[in-house]
Chains A and B, each alone.
Chain A
């Protein structure tokens, strides 16, 4: 398996990268970590005429906390995301999800921008971005625009990215609830999950659930946030009855694809189990803290 021929470009700045993307239009494909695009090139599922290597745009490799947001540069690698103190402090859910991507060597190269642009419906970072209401910062011929992750992700591997545009950063609003969990089930360690669950919430002094955010991956063509389940949880005690009710309601609210390998009923039951598990691990972590 060898890639089809292409012309290789190595821009030294964002401006140069954008100029190359504009010049070559749809024939150009940006490459950063290459952990998803590499296999597609090798198998010739992608045959771009021009490859624009973004790895020298080190200004896009950054993690920083502003007052009300965590901003992650598009070139930030999963391994850094998983270990950055800023992420561990302000958004540990994001760090935990990043630590579970692929394998050790894959995480050293793969980038957050690449993961969003690739938009695998079962991938970790799109799920976290949708669940936590993140915004993408996109640069292009018309300047810079921001788009909500939920609008950016349109379908399987289909995103709102126009010719000549490049993701430069991802912004997560802060603060979020201090209880969180990421749960995923895959057949083999490191594979994409069949179903994944991202959970974040706070609890008031009486132990009642506040500001729940619940997202599911692997159950639709894009990661889903479930506002009706979030509303259903508001103000209820985080006890076993509530958790089971929310999990059952989640399973009822989704309509996963039916296939011979993974029947819809299986994904539905997996979602229910993972929601229960996510609440339990969030609460257990709180007790241990």
Chain B
């Protein structure tokens, strides 16, 4: 596909299975387009240089920083945000476990953590606590609620494997 090179660009983005047409500057970050143009404010914006992990989304099913990605790059790719991962009346196993284990305090980092681990638990359904901590190191929780987050991820993993937990 050859590039549209005029600013602003008209883009067709596939987000959570729906197609959205937007007109945005080439330099607009995916995180900002999701929030400002599509109203999907579950993707949080923290550090804007890839450190904090609050803006993590899935690109073609794999975790990625929306703040290090331009919306223009996403044409032809599938973006999945936290909005697709459970609803208040039907939480995902991971969200339910985060709720039960008090795996969040202020909740700002939670969407990035949910997105990261919804993917990771499919890749590794039976992680050790150490493996969970390793992956969690990519998501900063400024309330430092890590113990409970680790407990919640392990609990969700056990439930997703069909074990009582």
Contact = CB atoms under 8 A, between A and B. Distances in A.
Nearest to B25: A5
Contacts of A235: none
Contacts of A103: 53, 135, 137-138
Contacts, number: 102
B29 A2 contact: yes
Contact of B56 (A12, A105, A190): A105
B68 interface: yes
A42 B4 CA distance: 22
4 nearest A-B residue pairs (beta carbon)? A103-B138, A38-B68, A39-B49, A8-B26
A189 B29 contact: no
Interface string A7-41: 11111100010000000000000000011001101
Contacts of A42: 29, 48-49, 67-68
B65 interface: yes
A4 B25 CA distance: 11
Contact of B72 (A8, A16, A43): A8
A104 interface: yes
A12 B4 CA distance: 12
B145 interface: no
Given A12-B2, A55-B73, A105-B138, A5 B27 contact: yes
B9 A8 contact: yes
Interface string B66-82: 01111011010000000
Interface in B113-160: 116, 120, 134-135, 137-138
A189 B137 contact: yes
A230 interface: no
A8 B48 contact: no
A82 to B, nearest CB: 12
Interface string B29-45: 10010000000000000
A189 to B, nearest CB: 4
Nearest to A10: B3
Interface string A53-84: 10110000000000000000000000100000
Contacts of B29: 2-3, 42
Given A12-B1, A109-B64, A4 B27 contact: yes
B111 interface: no
B62 interface: yes
Given A10-B3, A42-B49, A104 B26 contact: no
B135 A39 contact: no
B137 A35 contact: no
Contacts of B68: 34-35, 38-39, 42, 109
Nearest to B27: A3
Contacts of A8: 3-5, 7, 9, 26, 70, 72
B50 A10 contact: no
A9 to B, nearest CB: 4
15 contacts: A5-B26, A8-B5, A8-B7, A11-B3, A12-B1, A34-B68, A42-B49, A43-B49, A51-B26, A56-B1, A105-B53, A105-B56, A105-B65, A105-B116, A189-B137
Contact of B49 (A38, A51, A105): A38
A105 B2 contact: no
Contact of B64 (A1, A108, A190): A108
